[in-house]
Structures are given as structure tokens and as C-alpha cells.
Structure 1
Amino acid sequence: MKIGVNTFVWTSPFTTRDFTLMPKIKAMGFDIIEVAVEDTALIDVPLLRKTARDEGLELTICGAFGTTRDISSDDPAIRRNGVAYITDCLRLTEAVGSSLFAGPVYSAVGKTRMVSPDQKAQERAWCVENLRGLGKIATDAGITIAIEPLNRFETDMINLVDQAIELIHEVGDPAFKVHIDTFHANIEERSIPDAIRRAGDLLGHFHACENDRGTPGTGSIDWVGVRDALRGVGYAGPVVIESFTPGIVEIAKAAAIWRPLASSQDELARDGARFLRQLLG
């Protein structure tokens, strides 16, 4: 397992000028930089690939799904915009030589409502239809799309690993896998290790986040149980720290980071990397 860190730890939106983060990220002991793409136009894609390669860092890509990027919306223009955004992200992922695009691709972050069964079924149908089309693009590019369950305060669609698995089976495309984030799973799953075991070989990405989104190892997550479950299912993919700097642009309200989570963002990343190295050693 290789250790990574998400650019949301330091900046939002991520732009070409933020490539200067990479030497620091490498010096902290990370193997991977996970680029949170809020706007593909802000990123010099060939330079991103070259800079990461020069620093000895691998790349993973994650999306930021605001209200205008909802592939399950009842507004067809918003659905089209969501598909176009994900397609652009997949093209970027391919161009930088990565094989992983992750996030809650199924809906908008912060979309939480009580709706009728008929409306819920219709939204899911739109979601499945759009994911099938996106799966073809991903498969052709050799990319895995990792579907991330979010907690109940951030989505009403996919909260559990079991729900992500059901959606993947309904879509029926091998491009899709499960993305587990321990922050969300700590709220929704009865046991994070058991959720990892249920995902099994469908586990395609992993975010190692503390229960308060602070430094991994400083809170209440059962990290030994997490480690043992990851090893038990033979997971060999990225283990990425995701936290947020206050004031993120695309999903600020849903992420709800209103206070610092460590003495500094550098401390959060550096100490988190050290903890995960010791844990996963």
C-alpha cells in the first residue's frame, strides 16, 4: 500500500501555481499526490504529469461535486453538466498517466432531502444511465472510477459500502469499484473493518481520515482493525489522507470545515504520513 495526500489539505481550487506543493509532499514521505479537480481549466495538465514524475510522486485524481454537477438531478442541463465534468476529469486522469478517478460521482455533495419512492427511483435511473456511459469512457482509458459513500449529512443516495456495491452491480461495468473514506464510514458503518471485508476485491480506493478529519491517529478510528482488514482483503491500492483547508470552494458547506483541525496543515499531513507508515509498515 502506498501513502498519499489530497490537495484539499492545503488549497482550493487546485491550480497550476499549486504544483509547488509537490516537493514538500514528497519530503513529508508521501508516494502519491491526489489532485482534487474543481476546474480542469485551471490546471496545466502536461506540466502536472511532468512535475509529479520529476518529484517521484504518483497521481490519483478525485472530483468535487457541487450542485451543478449532479448526474442524478431532475434538471437535464445539470445532468449533462455533471457528465461533461466527469468526462473532463477522466480525460485529465488519462493524460497525467493515472488509472484512478474517485469520489461521490453519483450525486451532488450536500444533496439531502426526503423524497418520494418514485422520485428516488427516477434519480437512481438517471444516475445508472449516466454511469454506464461514463464507464465506457473509463474502460477505454484504463481508468477505475471509485464510488465513495458519504455520510447522511452530505448525501441521501449512497451512505454505506453495501449501497455502493449495489449501485456497481446495477451499473454492471468493471470500471467501477468502491472508495471507502473512514470519516464517512465512522458515521455510517457499524464496523469499518467489516465494511472493508464486505467490499473485498471491489475495494478500489481508500481514504484514511480521522473521525474529526484531523490528523490520522489522533482520534477514535480503529486503525489496527482497519489495517488488518485491508491486509485481509489483499488491498494493495492507495491509502490517502483527505482533509480540508477552511474555505474550500466547491463543497464548502457540505464539508463543514469551520475551524483548524491541527496546528497547521503541514503538521496534519506530516504527522499523518508518519502514523500511516508506522501502521501499515
Structure 2
Amino acid sequence: MIKSCVTIALVPQIKTGPWIFWEDLEAGMHKASKLGFDAIELFTASADAIEIPKLKELLEKYNLELAAVGTGAGKVIHGMTLTDPNSEIRKKAISFIKEMMDFGAAFRAPAIIGSMQGNILPGNDREETMSWLAEALNELGKHAEAKGVTLIYEPLNRYETNLLNTLEAGSKFLDTLDTKSVKLLADLFHMNIEEENLEQSILKWGKYIGHIHFADSNRRPMGFGHTSMREIAESIKTIGYSGFVSAEAFPYPNPDAAAEQTIGEFRKWFR
């Protein structure tokens, strides 16, 4: 069964980002539960920002799952990426992500690598940079396997990274890795920019998809842009996807309305 999910961010440095709920974890969970969401996707400053027993207690209280944990704070707060030319920074980035993976694994939830993938910097060699990314994902994929979870890699649009921008590019790159524990995140906002045909890309590369971000063409909640969801939803169901469809969208026009809009659109297309 495809499950609904809403984002909650607890990192002040990324407050302008595409997250539905902010700052107050329990208040966000209460609202998510009341609206009928199945899960939350959580963004924290570090792996120890929330005590695991406390989060387990709250998830049980509000009948929610933890769908995934974000790692973006590693870049936003600490400036770390997996493709930094400095090997020591790359090592620290891997360690940070492992800690987030351990946190998520306590709930059987994957960690997501988005902005921490980094970029090919001016003057740097693409082949060498991609080898750093492969090395990191192989190590992290093996760690994921040991923890009984997957690792989620997100192809971002060209304005955010020059590494891998499409499901095709991401899938072909995953095929070169030693690990099979890395999956792709199909973010409909990024795909609206980069994919020639969203539904055909999902159909062709669906076996690599491990998580979906549900946002419209303008990064507002689904239904507030020009994304044609009918064909996309059918392609997601056709590939047999049974994971989470998570609202990583701007809280437009406000968090409560954005959450209501999202769950309404989710039910329209997936229930």
C-alpha cells in the first residue's frame, strides 16, 4: 500500500526550505495524525537532536511511522558534502550520514542524501568527483545493509547539483556500485525540471525508486501548480510502488492549509 507522509523540519538554518511543519515536533505530529497522514519525514540538526525513546513514544501516541530522515543539516550547518575535494571533509560527511542512518534505522527508516551529495566544483575533474561519490555510496550502502535499511539518493535539478539530475542518470550510476542497498528518491519537483516525461521515467526506472517526494511544479503542495498527476499516479501504481509519498513542499499558503491540501491530493490519486 502506498502511504502518505508529511515533512517536519527542526533545523532553524533551513527554515526557508520546502517543509510543511516547523519547529514544534509534537504539534506537527498531532496535526499530521489528525489529518490522517501515515507518517512523517523528519529533518533534524543531528542524530542526537531527538532522543530515540521520546520519538518512539510520540510515534506510538499519534499512530505514525517515521518514513525517512534527512541529512541536509550536514551541509547547511557544517558545510560537508560527499564530493568535497578535501578527503577529511568527505570522511566527516560519511560519518555524519552514518549517524543519521543509525538514528533512522531504530525506526526502520532510511536516510536521504540530497544536498550532501555536493557538486563538481570549478576546476575539478568530473570522473574523479564521481569516483568520490561512488566510494561514499558504496561505504554507506554497506552500512545501510548492516542496519537492515536502505539508503536513499536524490537526483536534484541542475540548479542544485551538476552530479546526477534524472532518474535515468541515477539508475545507471547505481548499477555501477558494489552495493545494492541504495535506492533513488523520485522528487516530482526536480523531475518537473529535468525529466522529458515524468510518467515514462517512473515506468522505466521504477525498480530503483525507494521514496517519492510529492510537490507540484512550483514546489507548492500538489494541486497548486501545473503538474499533471493523473498519469504520474498511474505510473507509480503500475510499478508496484508500496513506499511513502512525502510532502516536501513549501507551507503555502500556511502549514495547516498546505497539509490539508496535500492529504486531499494524496487521497485523490492513491486511495
Fold equivalence (TM over 0.5): yes
Give 1:6 shift.
1.1
Among all aligned residue pairs of Structure 1 and Structure 2, give the percentage whose two residues are the same amino acid.
24
Match for 2:36: what amino acid? G
Aligned partner letter, 2:175: H
Partner of 2:260: 270
CA distance in 2, matches of 1:167, 1:105: 17
Between the aligned partners of 2:171 and 2:181, the Cα distance in structure 1 is 13
Name the residue aligned to 1:44.
Answer: 51
SS of residue matched to 2:159: coil
8 Å CA contact retained: 1:4, 1:32: yes
Q: Which residue of 91, 112, 121 corresponds with 1:102?
A: 112
Q: How far has the Cα of 1:24 moved from its partner?
A: 0.9
- Cα distance change, pair 233–92 in 1 and its aligned pair in 2 (3 A): same
| Distance (whole Å) between structure 2 residues aligned to residue 263 and residue 177 of structure 1 | 32
| 2:189 counterpart of 1:183 | yes
Match of residue 35 from structure 2: 28
Deviation at 1:32, TM superposition (A): 0.7
- Out of 81, 92, 101, the residue aligned to residue 70 of structure 1 is 81
Counterpart of 1:89? 100
Residues in 2 aligned to 1:152 and 1:105: alpha-carbon distance in whole angstroms: 12
Task: Say yes or no: does 1:57 pair with 2:48.
Answer: no
State how far apart, in whole Å, the 2-side matches of 1:49 and 1:112 are.
39
Moved more, 196-205 or 148-157: 196-205
Which residue number corresponds to residue 221 of structure 1?
227
Deviation (angstroms), 1:268? 0.7
Letter in 1 for 2:239: V
SS state at 1:66 partner: helix
Q: TM-score, normalised by structure 2?
A: 0.89
Distance 1:123 1:265 in 2: 38
| Structure 1 portions without partners, runs of 5+ | 245-260
Whether 2:5 is the aligned partner of 1:4: answer yes
Distance 1:188 1:181, change over 3 A: same
Shift of 1:115: 4.7
Q: Give the alignment partner of residue 129 of structure 1, picking from 131, 135, 139.
A: 135
Q: Report if the CA contact (8 A) 1:102-1:205 is conserved.
A: no
Q: Which amino acid aligns with 2:111?
A: F
Work out the number of aligned pairs and report it.
Answer: 256
The CA deviation at 1:271 is 1.2
Q: For each residue in 1:250-274, what CA deviation from the matched residue of structure 2 results, as whole angstroms up to 9, or x when unmatched? A: xxxxxxxxxxx62211101111111
- The Cα shift of 1:105 comes to 6.7
Helix, strand or coil at the partner of 2:42: strand
User: For the residues of structure 1 that align with 2:150 and 2:26, how far apart are their CA atoms?
Assistant: 24
After superposition, the C-alpha distances for 1:146-181 in whole angstroms (9 at most, x for unaligned) are 211100000010101111112211113121111100
Question: Which letter does structure 1 place at the counterpart of 2:82?
Answer: I
Q: Cα RMSD between the aligned structures?
A: 1.8
The residue number in structure 1 matching 2:242 is: 236
Deviations along 1:170-213, whole A, 9 cap, x unmatched? 11312111110000000000111011112222211111111111
Alpha-carbon offset, residue 280 of structure 1? 1.1
Query: Which residue type is aligned with residue 66 of structure 1?
Result: K
**Equivalent-residue separation in structure 1 for 2:180 and 2:102 (angstroms):** 18
Deviation, 1:25, is: 0.8
Say whether the 8 Å CA contact 1:105–1:147 is kept in structure 2: no
Report what 2:13 is aligned to.
none
Q: CA deviation at 1:37?
A: 2.9
Supply the AA of the counterpart residue of 1:38. A
SS in 2 for 1:40: coil
Q: In the alignment, which of 11, 26, 34 is matched to residue 19 of structure 1?
A: 26
Letter in 2 for 1:23: H
